[in-house]
């Protein structure tokens, strides 16, 4: 819902007059009536078709790109359906359940000459773009450590129970794939993506995972990543850099939701650090802290324009890529999505977390 409402906001309000979005079709897996109600509830202007099946939607000749926002458990099957129909895809994070599925999606898109992107919206916030540029420009020296925490202090039994997608293994539930991906996003976009493509190297991983007693999905996961590189120079004597990615359903990174505990993200370099405030998936402020005597502390605010949620920036990226004939986004290329999925595979292996064979499968089509 937030994504569609952001699509309908005037692009000029965010200096994006070079592109435009139109919602031309909505599909529900259960009924056309549900799709019709979604169109009405969100004020989607006509013409907008309502479909009772995904198969009907991907057959619509007016559809250029499909946004897939089903649970991660269904991403592989749903995206394959769209690609096989010859449509471009923006697919919600986590891309799939495992790296093998992601590799097949990317290869299918390549063979069919179709655009495919993982919808990690945080990557496309102007704040994130600017932080990456600061790192690449050497603002805080050689970056050697990033810590990121995406945690919410909930009564898990009361709020999530056993069937909600957050904790349901049949829907690839657990905090790693749903929330931990944001902590990993900050680690990767600061320690990996900021290097030239030919210098990016996958990290080694050590992790700890706590299962939720009621379902077995993870309720807490902490990951230590060791990159054999540093950024931005990676030389002349390359140093390792460390990422610490945390996620938890029972303890909160920001308990009073007022920022009292400080920054959820710290990016530490040899000349200072950058702190990012707010939820890691929707940050709106960062602070640069130079080393003592090297300059003044600076706070930079990034309010979201036009009372939006912030999802329009990833949609703008998709539109520009389609306009320019690109199959993947430079902000999150396929190769990087695959490496991040491989990290999560390893974390699940170390934690003993597996999902039902059907949703781990690379067979297509498969009825879930």
Alpha-carbon distance 179 to 249, whole Å?
A: 9
Clarify whether 93 is annotated catalytic. yes
Q: Is 258 exposed, middle or buried (0-12, 13-18, 19+ CB in 10 A)?
A: exposed
Q: Is 43 left (phi over 0), alpha (psi -120 to 50) or beta?
A: left
Residue from 12, 34, 87, 93 carrying the catalytic annotation: 93
Coil/strand/helix, residue 254: coil
Strands (DSSP E) found in the chain: 25-27, 49-51, 65-68, 88-92, 116-119, 143-151, 204-211, 218-227, 241-248, 265-269, 272-277, 285-290, 298-301
* 213-to-168, 247, 255, 309, 346 alpha-carbon distances in Å: 12, 17, 23, 34, 22
Q: Which residues pair with 148 in a beta bridge?
A: 245, 265
Q: How many CB atoms lie within 10 A of CB 357?
A: 8
Active site residues: 93
């Amino acid at each position: 819902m937030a994504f569609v409402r952001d699509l309908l906001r005037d692009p000029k309000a965010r200096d994006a007059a070079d592109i435009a979005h139109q919602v031309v079709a909505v599909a529900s897996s259960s009924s056309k009536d549900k799709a019709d109600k979604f169109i009405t509830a969100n004020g989607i202007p006509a013409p907008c078709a309502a479909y009772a099946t995904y198969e009907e939607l991907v057959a619509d000749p007016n559809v250029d790109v499909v946004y897939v926002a089903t649970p991660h458990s269904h991403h592989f099957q749903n995206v394959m359906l769209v690609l096989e129909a010859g449509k471009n895809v923006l697919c919600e994070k986590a891309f799939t359940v495992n790296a093998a599925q992601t590799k097949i999606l990317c290869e299918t898109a390549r063979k069919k000459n179709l655009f495919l992107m993982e919808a990690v919206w945080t990557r496309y916030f102007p704040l994130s773009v600017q932080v990456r540029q600061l790192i690449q420009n050497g603002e805080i020296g050689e970056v050697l450590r990033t810590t990121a925490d995406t945690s919410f202090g909930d009564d898990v039994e009361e709020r999530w129970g056993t069937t909600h997608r957050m904790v349901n293994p049949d829907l690839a539930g657990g905090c790693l794939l749903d929330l931990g991906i944001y902590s990993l996003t900050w680690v990767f976009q600061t320690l990996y993506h900021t290097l030239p493509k030919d210098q990016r190297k996958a990290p080694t991983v050590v992790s700890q995972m706590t299962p939720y007693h009621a379902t077995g999905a993870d309720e807490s996961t902490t990951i230590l990543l060791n990159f054999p590189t540093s950024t931005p120079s990676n030389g002349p004597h390359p140093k390792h850099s460390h990422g610490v990615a945390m996620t938890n359903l029972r303890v909160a990174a920001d308990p009073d939701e007022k920022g009292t505990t400080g920054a959820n993200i710290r990016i530490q370099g040899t000349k200072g650090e950058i702190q990012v405030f707010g939820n890691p998936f929707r940050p709106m402020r960062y602070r640069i802290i130079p080393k003592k005597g090297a300059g003044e502390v600076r706070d930079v605010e990034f309010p979201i324009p036009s009372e939006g949620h912030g999802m329009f920036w990833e949609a703008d990226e998709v539109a520009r890529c389609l306009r320019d004939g690109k199959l993947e986004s430079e902000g999150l290329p396929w190769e990087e999505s695959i490496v991040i999925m491989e990290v999560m595979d390893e974390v699940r292996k170390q934690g003993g977390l597996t999902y039902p064979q059907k949703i781990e499968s690379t067979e297509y089509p498969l009825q879930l």
